[in-house]
Amino acid sequence: METDFSSEDKKYFGSIFKQINTKFNRCLWPGESCSDSAIRAHSIQNSGVLDLLCVDNHVIMPKAEITIEKGPNLIFEKIGRNKATTFTGLCDKHDSILFDPIDNYKFDANNEEKLFLLAYRSVLRELHTKMKTGIDIQTQYMKGCELGKFNVDAPDEPMIMAKIALAEAYTFYLYKTEFDKIYLKRNFEQIVHQVDLIKNIAPSIAVSSVLSFIDNMRHIQDRKDPKGIVLNIFPSDDGTYIIFSYRKEHENNLLPHLDRILNAEKYYKLYLVSKLILMHCENVVMSPAFYQKLSESKIELLKSFFMKNLSVDKADIENVDLYLFN
């Protein structure tokens, strides 16, 4: 049955879609002194990693979309490699300066600088995403107030959501500034990396994300000193790397959340990591060759599990079809 929407509702939904599609361009170079225009910078290496995943210069990425009729939904979208995983959070010059050591030279898992830069790129992309989300939600709230949908004099749910989104962006900004300090002082040993190289699996997936097992908004000490785990997964000529990175001073807070994965045997480890990706990550790339092998029932399961875990409250299940590796 078709839902009836008032002209005000249609106008409001139209403003939401317009805002979501608005680009947010800002160079997040450490020190924030750069005013140059941002480019589409890759958060997952274009040459090297995407080389191993793409088919006909395309990869598959999950994309959450929303329509007036159906509400939120997830699709797996075929996207060109030059647009995949990009974010407008660095200018051309600073993207090159920052990531030349990992973009133009072979990855070395024993090199602290390269491991740091891999994590730092994920942090920059995550901050850009949170800032864009905060701006989007705040803009949508203000438009709703303008149309008389919300009461600006009362703390209702839309107002609270707008404030939380901005607060989360600011909290993650504090997290990013600690990585800035490490980069500028070149104290790369301040980041701990748990590196796993899984051999004898075909390239299937790559991830660049920051996980928050701890609700940094709940306690004031965590808001002032936010804690997170950076996850990078990518195929190489040697196998598939799974790398967890975190600040050394947060090890006691975060390592217990990883113990089960780090101590698991190969295939169970990949299963646990698969669920972790679906529950916490959206910056994910799949090989079309891998995706085409998935059954329709498995694809629907992946979509359903992903959508159920978009909120802070996670909905874990056990199902071998959540496995994401070749």
Q: What is the pLDDT along the chain (326 residues), one digit of tens a residue?
A: 345 556 655 665 565 556 566 678 889 999 777 989 999 999 999 888 999 999 999 999 998 876 666 667 889 999 999 999 999 999 999 999 999 999 988 899 999 999 999 999 999 999 999 988 888 888 777 777 777 777 777 777 777 778 888 888 899 999 999 999 999 999 999 999 999 999 999 999 999 999 988 776 676 776 788 889 999 999 998 899 999 999 999 999 999 999 999 999 999 999 999 999 999 999 999 999 999 999 999 999 999 999 999 877 788 999 999 999 98
Task: Tell me the torsion sign for CA atoms 178, 179, 183, 186.
Answer: positive
Using an 8 Å Cβ cutoff, are 126 and 172 in contact? yes
Supply the pLDDT for residue 16: 59
Supply the pLDDT for residue 1: 38
Position 111: which residue type? N
Supply the pLDDT for residue 11: 61
Supply the pLDDT for residue 297: 96
Sequential DSSP letters for 211-246 = E-SS-TTTSHHHHHS---EEEEEEEETTEEEEEEEE
Using an 8 Å Cβ cutoff, are 214 and 299 in contact? no
Supply the pLDDT for residue 323: 97
Using an 8 Å Cβ cutoff, are 247 and 192 in contact? yes
> What's the pTM?
0.90
